[in-house]
Structure 1
Amino acid sequence: MVGMILRFGRRKLHTIISREVIKPSSPTPSHLQTYNLSQLDQRGTHVYMPLILYYPNHHKICSLTPNDKAQKIKKSLSQSLTRYYPFAGSLHTPTTPYIDCDDAGVVFVEARNDSHMNMSQHINDGTVGQLFVDDMFWQTSPHRASLVGVKLNHFACGGMALGVSMSHRIGDGSTLGSFVSHWASVARYGSTDHEQVLPFNPQFLQSPPATTNFLPHQVSDLNPRCVNPVTRKFVFPNTKLSDLKSKVVLPSTNGGSIANPTRVEVLTSLLYKTAVAAATTARSSSSSSKPHFLLFPCNMRKKFVPKLPQTTVGNLITGFIVMTRHESETSLSALVSEIRKQKMEVESVQSQELARQNIDSIMSRLGNEDLENVAHRFFCCSSLCGLGFNNVNFGWGNPGVASITYMSSKQSGSMLMDTPNGDGIEAWVSLETQDMKIFQNDKELLSFCQN
């Protein structure tokens, strides 16, 4: 189902109940008080990824009062921070190559809302950002040292929305998913040493002190692409994705065929194809001969040698770009074929150093283009499917909605996540307003969306 347009209003929704700092339940040992960021972490930006988890009030599952639930969440957060000790530390500048693990803690805010919990309303009236602490919502702050912020929102119906913000400087979407999964498991079982919690314990890579201060790469540095952006949610059921895969499996124009494309591959191709067509239509026809760029980030934990656990902390990602210049290159078969080809090449990136070099190569390639035009023809598609956000259970059931809404004001693209019931993918798509007007009415795109 096509979602509502997201707009940012400043209407006050919440009454603040309390504000406190949650510190680790045990102090960080002296030998762990400096956490050196890897070369890949240093490439990340100090921008806050926002995860929102909506929990309906299920009386039959849990009889705890809202205050009891809040205390349980805070206690388990404190316990979890003993394992995720860098998350309670400080980043003194956006480019500091290490985290001071000083147990400064995590800001935790509780707020009350007299309305009923309704994500569609928050999307419609543009108040989603107010469910997070201190504007830690796709924002970069050169003055904020904290790495994580949490806001617990209580609604009149007894439901809750938990807003968790994490700096991209310390980890990627997989790190955020592992962190909240560990935190919830501690809440359920009461201890970080419980046998059911141990599989969720974080893994840290040892990084030497930086001899070179790698400055963050920001795609937005190529020039802000969205002057007046809007974001919409599109839901693609698995039955429709199967239809889409069947369409792509047909023989391609070069005489070959595409064997068993993934849901993410075909959906990414469809979204990019539709976005390019919308941008071309919205602008002069003379722009159609200029290349467009698809950036596809990749989780490298299972690609590295040796393989790394999913719970490994950090920005363990690289990516690839697909450049298209002609309409024939944006057919679904052509795009899926190129994505598959690029993914196979990424298989050779088997270390952090090679991943960092690959990122530098991507930025260099983009930098060789006309920078003013690249930003206006750039589409980033990230997938967080399979990372367990829909299973974050603190003891009162899984969230009814779990989402990292893609609302960057400087970059067009999409964020893919599993639907709460696991029966499809929801895509949060951010585009320039004039492009979105065309994109959201594309007949082919809508034919694969939920009715």
Structure 2
Amino acid sequence: MANEFEVTITSREIVKPSSPSIHLQEPYLLSCFDQLVPSTYIPLIIFHSLANANFDIYQVLDHAKSCLADTLAVFYPISGRIQQNSIVHRFDAGVPFLVARVTSTLSRFLESHQHNGSNLNKLLPCRPFSQEPSSPEGIPLMTFQMNIFACGGIALGCGLCHKIGDSATGLAFARTWAAFFSGSRRRISRPDFISASSLFPPRSPMPPQYVAVIEKMWFRDYNFTTRRFFFSPESIASLRHLARGGTDAASTLLPTSVEAVSGFLWKCFISASRAVSSTTRPSMLGLEVNLRKRTSSRTLERAFGNLFWPATAVVMPEQGTLPLEELVKLISDAVAGFDEEYVKSLQGEEGFQNIARSLDALQEMLEMEPDVLEIGSVCNLGLDQMDFGAGDPGMVTIGDVRSKFSNFVILAEARLGKGIEAWMIIEEKRMGFMEQDREFLKYAVPITSLKMSKL
């Protein structure tokens, strides 16, 4: 089964912004959050069956590249290269665009996922969530691979360099490209390139010890595996009920679906960590919070770049086994602290001192060698609204991460908002325990074939 599918690169080119004046733009200034983020590619694979459409694949390719050039003219920093962890310049450097042929139909390829998940990585133009080495000329800030299946279906593999932007930035780019592609110009997103570096100015240079803290949290020396699980609306409702203490009585704790699922995943992760570890260590959860949504003003609504910060919660060994409602309360309290006043406290020169203090505290925590689980959510970011002229995507996913990354979970809405998918990158032994954990499997349904999951 592993050798059944071959993916052969048939062409490579560099796509540049359609506007020749882009190279005259002033260098784009990174924010301090951008400076702290390691160079790693966020992967995404967008599948379209094209089964009910009369498409000429070569016309699709030409149109895709033309619309990509138009999109790069709007999101011009993505076409550049980063210099000295400070600025983005050389906007005419462009982004790699690969075309590949797959010796399989799309349906058979997706079915193969239950046998060999690493087949997905063949559809990507980058190593998913791997720490990329720095180079004098800089790495491409985005890269693409258009995969053409024997049936005519396509899978667009994308990699966004995390240092230039977060998931919200990448999805805004993808939606704008899709808008150009389908001719829906009213859906084109015009990013704000000023607010992030203005409110959260870069350091010159960024102290290396702070970069090292984030790298230590993100990259762990484990063997990881990638799994997908589905939480139905009924399971989510049950978890929210349990997170309130399992009572219908009035409660001050009103967890969101993401908070309830996150608390449940953390609870199961703690159990798995204690089962496979010879010693009991602190458990730390880092829940990525999108700062754009934490202010009453619309200042950061369209801001380009990395605008997230982890809300952290910790369980110490002496606290024993905490029930779900207490774990969810820790999460809810941590997220609630990210209010408008807190976001303002991170701004400007004084703001960076507050960021530095939080990084110092994180470093102290990491010195205790805790079991770390990080969770990010792309719910409500329009993941299923990327219409490239063939309707909404049949399915969206990431690759198969096996590199030295963190224990990390991405929560995504299932199609039409019916439930939540958890894309889990977990250390192999812990994942093995969770896959046999009856409590975990009571709410989380394993997705063994990608056909079972259609965003």
TM-score band, normalised by shorter chain: 0.7 to 0.9
8 Å CA contact retained: 1:66, 1:158: yes
Matched, 1:43 2:36: yes
Greater shift in the superposed pair: 17-26 or 326-335:
326-335
Residues 294 and 358 (structure 1 numbering): CA distance in 2 closer, same or farther, change over 3 Å?
A: farther
- For 1:13, the aligned partner's letter is E
**Partner of residue 63, structure 2:** 72
Which residue among 430, 433, 439 is the counterpart of 2:428?
433
**Partner of residue 260, structure 1:** 254
- For 1:47, the aligned partner's letter is T
Residues 239 and 223 (structure 1 numbering): CA distance in 2 closer, same or farther, change over 3 Å?
A: closer
**Partner of residue 361, structure 2:** 365
Q: Distance in 1 between matches of 2:424 and 2:355?
A: 23
Residues 281 and 130 (structure 1 numbering): CA distance in 2 closer, same or farther, change over 3 Å?
A: same
8 Å CA contact retained: 1:226, 1:412: no
Q: Distance in 1 between matches of 2:129 and 2:4?
A: 16
Matched, 1:382 2:376: yes
- For 1:307, the aligned partner's letter is R
Matched, 1:141 2:106: no
5+ residue gaps, structure 2: 447-455
Which residue among 322, 325, 344 is the counterpart of 1:330?
322
Q: Distance in 2 between matches of 1:11 and 1:371?
A: 46
Instruction: Give RMSD over aligned pairs.
Output: 2.7
**Partner of residue 451, structure 2:** none
**Partner of residue 187, structure 1:** 181
Residues 359 and 330 (structure 1 numbering): CA distance in 2 closer, same or farther, change over 3 Å?
A: farther
Q: Structure 1 vs Structure 2: percent identity of aligned residues?
A: 27
Residues 91 and 443 (structure 1 numbering): CA distance in 2 closer, same or farther, change over 3 Å?
A: same
- For 2:324, the aligned partner's letter is L
Residues 137 and 367 (structure 1 numbering): CA distance in 2 closer, same or farther, change over 3 Å?
A: closer
**Partner of residue 20, structure 1:** 13
TM-superposed CA distance for 1:445, in Å, is: 1.4
Matched, 1:52 2:48: no
Residues 370 and 29 (structure 1 numbering): CA distance in 2 closer, same or farther, change over 3 Å?
A: closer
8 Å CA contact retained: 2:182, 2:388: yes
TM-superposed CA distance for 1:112, in Å, is: 0.4
Residues 222 and 400 (structure 1 numbering): CA distance in 2 closer, same or farther, change over 3 Å?
A: closer
TM-superposed CA distance for 1:105, in Å, is: 0.7
Q: Distance in 2 between matches of 1:381 and 1:211?
A: 27
Q: Distance in 2 between matches of 1:341 and 1:73?
A: 44
TM-superposed CA distance for 1:218, in Å, is: 5.0
Q: Distance in 2 between matches of 1:246 and 1:101?
A: 53
- Measured against aligned partners, the alpha-carbon deviations of 1:260-298 in whole angstroms (never above 9, x if no partner) come to 3111001100111101111101122xx33x311111110
- For 1:106, the aligned partner's letter is V
TM-superposed CA distance for 1:336, in Å, is: 1.1
- For 1:49, the aligned partner's letter is I
8 Å CA contact retained: 1:28, 1:102: no
Matched, 1:312 2:303: yes
TM-superposed CA distance for 1:311, in Å, is: 3.3
Matched, 1:121 2:117: no
**Partner of residue 6, structure 1:** none
Which residue among 182, 187, 194 is the counterpart of 1:197?
187
Q: Distance in 2 between matches of 1:223 and 1:394?
A: 33
TM-superposed CA distance for 1:227, in Å, is: 2.0
Q: Distance in 1 between matches of 2:367 and 2:245?
A: 37
Residues 436 and 365 (structure 1 numbering): CA distance in 2 closer, same or farther, change over 3 Å?
A: same
Q: What is the TM-score normalised by the length of structure 1?
A: 0.87
**Partner of residue 216, structure 2:** 221
**Partner of residue 5, structure 1:** none
TM-superposed CA distance for 1:436, in Å, is: 1.3
Q: Distance in 2 between matches of 1:123 and 1:44?
A: 33
- Measured against aligned partners, the alpha-carbon deviations of 1:13-69 in whole angstroms (never above 9, x if no partner) come to 21212111111111244652300101111111111101110111232xx31211121
- For 1:261, the aligned partner's letter is P
Q: What is the TM-score normalised by the length of structure 2?
A: 0.86
**Partner of residue 270, structure 1:** 264
